Structure 1
Amino acid sequence: MRLVVLGGGESGVGTAILGKEKGYDVFVSDFGKIKENYKEVLISNGIDFEDERHTEDLILNADVVMKSPGIPEKAPIVKKLIERGIPVISEIEFAAPFTRAITIGITGSNGKTTTTMLVYHLLKSAGLNVGLGGNIGKSFAQQVAEDKFDSYVLELSSFQLDGIVDYKPHIAIITNISPDHLDRYDYKYENYIDSKFRITMNQTEDDYLIYDADDEAIAEWLKNNTTKAKLIPFSLTKTFNEGAFIKNNNMEVIINQDEFKMETESIALEGKHNMKNAMAATSVAKLMQIRKATIRESLSNFQGVEHRLEKVLKIQNVQYINDSKATNVNATFFALDSMNSPTVWIVGGVDKGNDYNELMSLVREKVKAIVCLGVDNKKIIDAFGNVVDMMIEVSNMNDAVRMAQRLTEKGDTVLLSPACASFDLFENYEDRGNQFKQAVQNL
């Protein structure tokens, strides 16, 4: 059996290692450059590879192809594979049959990383033998090859879900759905929503779907479609006989007639959206039968995720916050919503079809000045030019932070929450966040 892996990054190299271990004839092809550390891993495992090209003769003879999530379906080589009827799948689909571990799959437009990290923290604190993978950390496929975990917590992007056929998580979470990556879905929101719901398409009556009952797109899909999974909702405004909700400043989670209660102010994560992430994660912990004392302790000591509303420093009584992971409007909505002081907002990057109107009322209420950090800021300037007193364009992070500092007074906040992808000026959102933190430390 010939396995061709498109993309020589974390998921690609991990899949190649697992494929080799399972007796496949493996070939890795990357149209870009493969990083040296990954090349070394491929060489030491005796795996053939090429980079900066796709040699069709070596690819189109595959029995199965694992495509890295970053490669679009519209890529010429992918189109050719599909035309020939060669299965093109994701790392998760390839690796899942080789493990008997149960998986907890987490998707959503926002909050999925925080929820994934929190679920992992809860299960690990309880002493479970658990792995963390998917869109985050070490490749799931490589862990299946090398580690023997009993369960995995997987962050799953819509791109990874597009490449599944039979995979099903035992427990699925959809944190929320808002327009994102529409450039990959023919600019049709419903295609993107369907993509997220692929997480539940193979689930059975023995599986669970935990979801945000306040989310319009999710509610609409559930009204018009069915899943066999047992539904467990969470909400900030409704209450349930089974599910998670807020009542009298307590978070309550009721599953199988067993109730868990915790005061909301004892939960380490701040903000309404994080309360939802905590409800989703606690629902998993209850399904995994983790002791209440352990859940309480884990929720009260969880540190949060880097580049997500991360407090960097307070300088001259101005708080600097790194929310570089906010790569869409909805994520930035949460960030602005949780600001309690006049805010200088650093925004911009590669726009993925954003509608900034959703932010208008929050910008009017909370933002005193905007620093645009991107190659093309026209849409942002058109949207907010008349709304804030001060609007400045910059082309690098040091200038952005220095300008922001000049615009602040004591008690203000400087918030980097770009609402856009980072690829115009940075390698990725981590690079953008790290440059922000470095620039703040240099003030």
Structure 2
Amino acid sequence: MDSKHHIVILGAGESGAGAAVLALKQGFEVFVSDSGPISPKYVKELEDAGIEFEQQQHSEERILSADEVIKSPGIPEKAPLIKKIREKGISIISEIEFASRYSNAKTICITGSNGKTTTTMLTYHILKDAGLHVGLAGNIGQSYARQVAQKDFDWYVLEISSFMLDDMYEFKADIAVLLNITPDHLDRYDYKMENYAESKIRIIRNQSEKDVFIYCADDPETIDILKRHPAVAITYPFSIQKEVEIGAYIKDEQIIIKLDTEKEFKMTITDLALQGKHNIYNSMASGIVAKVLELRNENVRASMGDFKNIEHRLEDAGKISGVNFINDSKATNVNSTWYALESMTTDVILILGGVDKGNDYNMLKDLVKAKVKSIVCLGKDNKRIHEAFEDDVDVIVNTFSAPDAVKMAYHLAKKGDTVLLSPACASFDLFKNYEDRGDQFKAAIKEL
């Protein structure tokens, strides 16, 4: 057993509960503490396993007696309790860091401000279809720790957020993918882009010359941070703006992937299941991973051609009287909304708003002017959206529930238009999370 025998886990969501299961299996004394209510399914799991826990409070004395703390990614570094733990010199790590100590599986770790969930799911789909014994974890599905405790995969595809990266130290990605770095979560990084970029580049931490790093050569923030933190791994860039010698690029409407000067993988863009410029990037990244693992070309083409995108990401939510409804509730930052608008081919009624994380709406202005007829705000405080777009669209209205937003958007739309829920904001002012927001949006469409 590890010399650190008393583990405290802060947060009892999927990552916390999974970490508790693994810690117990490894023989640790475990205590789980959540400042909010714990979901009944996790309460039952902890009780059944005999794991001590508390909810809707933090017993500081008990927590500060820990040898090590596993922290939920959602708890900010500036939280008073975290500061006290740091002051006592107690190690704070992420669930990903903890789980990696007890797994010999290889990891494919995907991060980026936008597209990471889609790319993670697509990569997992390709590998699973090719017959690899692969798990899916991180920011998605069952926690990595739970799967390490209960399953035995050869590979894991992990969606990794900046919050997870902040508490990773010894963990190493065998294959690391950095899709892009655009403004997001700046409230957690003192509103400094360089702090956020420093967090993202931790994805290459501890990599050796035998590991692989895949990145977007068209992303200026990525190129800039790599100048300060050059990768030591084998690197494969991908680009739609230029040809690269080794990596992936576009030529004659085809994705071309070359990992050496001899062999090429080619796939016509129109055959990809995921359309739109942003999804070409996602497909390139996944395709490079597949070829690093030497999967057969025909298998990779088939998987990239039949993939079904995730719920709440540019999800077709139905059509009523010729008006299309699209659920992009997972767009919790401005850049995600930019990608959504960029892929639209009709006039748009745009549903925006929620918890603003220090958004700069300027990057949306040209697309809003070109494609958006009206904006329906869905949030408690919509002042900044009005200020940003009042000169760009004829109508901006406020709503405070999903049914009201859907009714208003439908009223403003005409046949052939698209009602797009792509909020550019977090959801916590009116909803439990972005999934709840998307589900309420879809339910409201059915009620029309």
Pair in the same fold by TM > 0.5: yes
Match of 2:41 among 28, 34, 37: 37
Write out per-residue CA displacement over residues 388-407 of structure 1, whole angstroms, 9 at most, x where no aligned residue.
11111111110111111111
State the partner residue of 2:133: 129
**Any residues of structure 2 matched to 1:249-288 within 5 Å, and which?**
249-257=253-261, 258-288=263-293
State the partner residue of 1:91: 95
State the partner residue of 1:167: 171
Which one is further off, 248-257 or 100-109? 248-257
| TM-score using structure 1 length | 0.99
Match of 1:301 among 306, 312, 317: 306
State the partner residue of 1:146: 150
Q: 2:147, 2:62 → 1: CA distance? A: 27
Q: 2:173, 2:264 → 1: CA distance? A: 24
Q: 2:51, 2:414 → 1: CA distance? A: 57
Write out per-residue CA displacement over residues 176-201 of structure 1, whole angstroms, 9 at most, x where no aligned residue.
11011011111111000000000102
Q: 2:397, 2:192 → 1: CA distance? A: 33
State the partner residue of 1:381: 386
Which one is further off, 113-122 or 58-67? 58-67
**Any residues of structure 2 matched to 1:5-44 within 5 Å, and which?**
5-44=9-48
Write out per-residue CA displacement over residues 101-137 of structure 1, whole angstroms, 9 at most, x where no aligned residue.
0000000000000000000000000011000000100
- Percent sequence identity over aligned pairs: 56
What SS does the corresponding residue of 2:142 show, helix, strand or coil? Answer: coil
Write out per-residue CA displacement over residues 67-126 of structure 1, whole angstroms, 9 at most, x where no aligned residue.
000011111111111111110000010010101000000000000000000000000000
- The alpha carbon displacement at 1:386 in A equals 1.7
- The alpha carbon displacement at 1:425 in A equals 0.4
- The alpha carbon displacement at 1:241 in A equals 1.6
State the partner residue of 1:311: 316
Q: Which runs of 5+ in 2 are unaligned?
A: none
Number of positions where the alignment pairs a residue of Structure 1 with one of Structure 2: 443
State the partner residue of 1:242: 246
Q: 1:77, 1:223 → 2: CA distance? A: 35
Match of 1:338 among 312, 318, 343: 343
**Any residues of structure 2 matched to 1:277-426 within 5 Å, and which?**
277-426=282-431
Q: Which runs of 5+ in 1 are unaligned?
A: none
Superposition CA RMSD, Å: 0.7
Q: 1:396, 1:14 → 2: CA distance? A: 33
What SS does the corresponding residue of 1:203 show, helix, strand or coil? Answer: coil
- The alpha carbon displacement at 1:409 in A equals 1.1
Q: 1:224, 1:73 → 2: CA distance? A: 24
State the partner residue of 2:51: 47
Q: 1:256, 1:96 → 2: CA distance? A: 31
Write out per-residue CA displacement over residues 357-394 of structure 1, whole angstroms, 9 at most, x where no aligned residue.
11000000000011011100000001111211111111
**2:255 maps to 1:222:** no
State the partner residue of 1:212: 216
The AA in structure 2 aligned to 1:28 is: V
The AA in structure 2 aligned to 1:300 is: G
Match of 2:190 among 186, 190, 196: 186
Q: 1:399, 1:48 → 2: CA distance? A: 43
The AA in structure 2 aligned to 1:82 is: R
Please say if residues 201 and 229 of structure 2, whose CA atoms lie closer than 8 Å, have aligned partners that are also in contact.
Answer: no
Q: 1:56, 1:353 → 2: CA distance? A: 32
Q: 1:374, 1:54 → 2: CA distance? A: 30
| TM-score using structure 2 length | 0.98
Aligned structure 1 segments of 4 or more residues deviating by more than 2 angstroms = none
Q: 1:221, 1:394 → 2: CA distance? A: 40
The AA in structure 2 aligned to 1:222 is: L
Match of 1:78 among 70, 78, 82: 82
Which one is further off, 329-338 or 257-266? 257-266
What SS does the corresponding residue of 1:98 show, helix, strand or coil? Answer: coil
What SS does the corresponding residue of 1:363 show, helix, strand or coil? Answer: helix
